[in-house]
Structure 1
């Protein structure tokens, strides 16, 4: 099991320029690899594998000096992202979704997430020093917590705004130490997830409880809609337009943080207050829910990512305390979502 910690960072102007140089190099490499795939398919009707493009990296770096500033693992993760996007496209298309479109070229005006997988960085206390230089300058990032004791697998640097106008963040992916093994105690708790009542649970003794959804989305969506209406009446990219757009981003961020905070607290409380070591939940097809009969509620679920993320939180928190979450198929059970 791997967990992720997210930290907000405050880079200097010099560091921001360095990050943007890395981002542009990642975008450039992504587009080069995508162009090669498209041209090969167009001319020879053949597909190019990730392995082939990875093996070509030394030659690509010689031909395009802009890519030389990237660490080798970062280059590999860029190619891996492109390969994953293609596999996702083919998988969706194979499953009958003819509206699926292949990966597109990326613009340098968008910040490309910079990934360091397993190597390319050194952690000293709360300082992360990356192993390569940019314009002879070291890239050093200071975060707010000592992470030297973590078994770090991957570090990502990204910007919360698509165009890089938001705050910068670092995510640390690590393997936690699990000291509590799972022991089957023959106590079970089944959970049904919905919208107005996020959780309806019953245990093997027949006792049940319900937890209502506070619906932070309904509170914030009306406020966000009002500001969006004001923004849409402004001249695009004017000072007032930018100010209102920043307000919208702040409100959306607050809404998402409140929902996530509630889910964290609720899943923790549920696991701490049950004797059951096995939690049973139904498998969800969030994408298909939007096409079902009850579109209003189900699309609300899809748009806010309530249910899938709730199960993810429940699963990893259960593993940490020696419990397990089992997903079962809900075929031929109730189709109503409350």
Structure 2
């Protein structure tokens, strides 16, 4: 399986400027290819293929020689990114690709990493002898390897986040599947009041990191509104706001990593609701709280950590998990404000979220029984 491992890098001021310039070149290439693709389809109803984009890039390098100042791999990878964006759009998994602004394009990919043994050829990215990250046409960049890289490195992504830079290694490692144990199965109902309620009766509180930082963000944004756009103080205040958002994001990610790790390690089968989060955030009253909770991120983390530990993540139909009685199956309709499930059919009285987690577990086990091969 493929996993991402993220490390912070510490480029010099000159290297930061160079990396920013490379990202701008990639962004401009992306926008140019998108416009060419739209123009060709409008004129001839033909698709603009990836090979045609790469051929055009060769011509562009002859016309604009500054494109030769950066490695060719990240520029070529731009076209794969654009193709992938259109594939997701046609599958109705994302919106139509748009022109990228400076804040929208923050990463570039080096699809080959390392060196060929017994060969003088070197890839655009590798490790130097002293352990620094070595990028072609840029030099060595100090990197904080806070944990060993577990597996074979397939590609490298350099990412800008505010004023900090990161190296993300896509690593391939062997996973040995473990026997599925039905006795170690759990259903999880995610919510806003309690973040995760488990079918074993335990639960985890919602930390609400964004809500806790709202007052600081409000004051910082009010101060920004009184400053002259483009001034030195304006840029400093923008950096402060970026750091506040980055801290919230780091807190959320760290909490979800720890929670998903513990769950994937403890349980063999985990059942969750297959929620359409894009549709849920259209609710104006709940959109901020849903975004702050990071349900999609949590589900993705559970997915790959279950696979890594030899477990199984099952996504079930979310319809009526809170309404149906987990004991007798009677549908008890109730509004979102009612937090207790009371079944008039069998007399069951449960917490609404706990009742939902039991239904999720039951549906997950039913799907497990229908799977063709169970080890």
For structure 2, the residue ranges without an aligned partner over 5 or more in a row are 114-123, 324-335, 338-352, 354-375
TM-score (norm: length of structure 2): 0.73
Indicate the RMSD between aligned Cα atoms, in angstroms. 2.9
Task: Report the Cα offset of residue 80 of structure 1.
Answer: 1.4
CA contact (8 A) 2:106 2:161 kept: no
Task: Report the Cα offset of residue 54 of structure 1.
Answer: 3.1
> Which has more radius of gyration?
2
Task: Report the Cα offset of residue 2 of structure 1.
Answer: 1.9
Q: Give the Cα separation in 2 of the matches to 1:243 and 1:232.
A: 13
Match of 1:129 among 134, 144, 160: 134
Change (3 A) 1:24 1:285: same
Q: Give the Cα separation in 2 of the matches to 1:148 and 1:323.
A: 22
After TM superposition, the structure 1 stretch with the greater mean CA deviation from structure 2, 117-126 or 252-261, is: 117-126
1:1-338 equivalent positions in 2, closer than 5 A: 1-92=1-92, 102-104=97-99, 106=101, 112-119=106-113, 120-124=124-128, 126-130=131-135, 132-133=136-137, 138-145=138-145, 150-161=151-162, 166-178=163-175, 180-187=176-183, 188-202=185-199, 207-272=200-265, 274=266, 276-291=267-282, 295-301=284-290, 303-304=291-292, 306-334=294-322, 336=336
Cα deviation code 1:27-56 (max 9, x no counterpart):
342233233223323332322122332354
Task: Report the Cα offset of residue 286 of structure 1.
Answer: 0.7
Q: Give the Cα separation in 2 of the matches to 1:56 and 1:249.
A: 37
SS in 2 for 1:229: helix
CA contact (8 A) 1:115 1:156 kept: yes
Cα deviation code 1:279-318 (max 9, x no counterpart):
11111211011235xx5235421x2361111112222222
Change (3 A) 1:250 1:283: same
Change (3 A) 1:247 1:121: closer
Task: Report the Cα offset of residue 183 of structure 1.
Answer: 0.7
How many residues in Structure 1 have an aligned counterpart in Structure 2? 313
For structure 1, the residue ranges without an aligned partner over 5 or more in a row are none
Q: Give the Cα separation in 2 of the matches to 1:148 and 1:4.
A: 10
Change (3 A) 1:89 1:28: same
Q: Give the Cα separation in 2 of the matches to 1:270 and 1:43.
A: 53
TM-score (norm: length of structure 1): 0.80
Q: Give the Cα separation in 2 of the matches to 1:326 and 1:248.
A: 38
